[in-house]
Amino acid sequence: MLANEPHNGSPPGITLALGGGGARGLAHAGVLRLLSEHGITVKGVVGTSIGAEIGAFYGAGLGSERIEAMAREIDWMATVKFFLPTLDSGGLTSGGNITAYLRSYLGEATFGDCRPPLRAIATNMQNGQEVVLSEGSLVDAVRASVALPGIISPHSIGGALLGDGGLVNPLAVDVAREVFGGPVVAVAVHPGAQEADEDGESEPFRDPLEEQESPALMENLRRAVQITQAQLVRYRLAASPPDLLLKPVVPNMGVLEFYRGNEAFEAGVREAQASLAQLRALASI
């Protein structure tokens, strides 16, 4: 349920809407590092999928430097461990290793512990409704929000079976503005966020890792979801545009290529640096 929190007269600072996009979402960590270095206040974060994960780490107090180290530390073997197949769980993997990874950093932290406050977007897999998570365990919320269909099994919270928030709201600018107020800075990292002529990525939905390791059925399912999400983001941004849209460029990075975290992180830093003057101006409103 969407929390109706007043934000009239809200303090200076920006609200972040951090989008989904798998491994590319490690660029969010680079954006946070740049904001921290320049003293730009973040008064609230709304995250979808990987955006919810990075937002939870940030809100739980890990700090931009620690999150940077985490993004850079993920190697090939860690990536493989995250997605070890189980095949009997409603997805390629049950997500058990992902849950263990989240708990090793978040422990028993809850939404109430988050500074800045956080909201995480998930999808009710039983009725298709958007779910804005605002209370309870951060581990459970993130685990639900990252449950990419066909890859990671859905996660149950309070009797509801929840899946990836990107199915309904891949970049939740509308929720960010309603809950925390503006100005809203959105960070779009999903495949298709960049046009081909912007970054030379002629096949934005191609995932090199999955093409090597996954059956054609899984690859086609993943591409279908990503194409749908890209179109959904365009429609939602037209209806509820952010005050500033950042689009870190990570060419031809697969959704599961978390071992390329260093590239994604640096892309986030570059994109935020290029918009630093605008970020400063928005933070002072």
Q: How confident is the model at residue 255 (pLDDT cuts 50, 70, 90)?
A: confident
Per DSSP, the residues of 133-170 read E-SSBHHHHHHHHT--TEEE--EEETTEEEEEGGGT-S
What percentage of the chain carries pLDDT values higher than 90? 57
At 123, is the pLDDT very low, low, confident or very high (cuts 50, 70, 90)?
very high
What pLDDT is recorded for position 2?
A: 32
User: Is 200's pLDDT higher than 50?
Assistant: no
The answer to whether residue 9 scores a pLDDT higher than 90 is no
State yes or no: pLDDT of 236 exceeds 90: no
pLDDT band at 29 (very low <50, low <70, confident <90, very high): very high
Give start and end residues of each alpha helix (H) in the chain.
27-37, 50-59, 64-73, 76-82, 96-106, 138-145, 173-180, 196-199, 208-213, 216-239, 261-274, 276-283
Least confident of 15-19, 45-49, 98-102, 206-210: 206-210
More confident residue, 7 or 164: 164
241: cis peptide before it, omega within 30°? no
Element holding 112 (H helix, E strand): none
Say what the pLDDT of residue 55 is: 97
Listed in sequence order, the residues at least 6 apart from 258 whose beta carbon sits closer than 8 Å to its beta carbon are 22, 23, 26, 74, 78, 79, 82
For residues 105-123, average pLDDT:
97
Active site residues: 49, 164
* The overall pTM is greater than 0.95: no
- The mean per-residue pLDDT over the stretch 121-141 comes to 96
Looking at every residue in the chain, the average pLDDT score rounds to 84
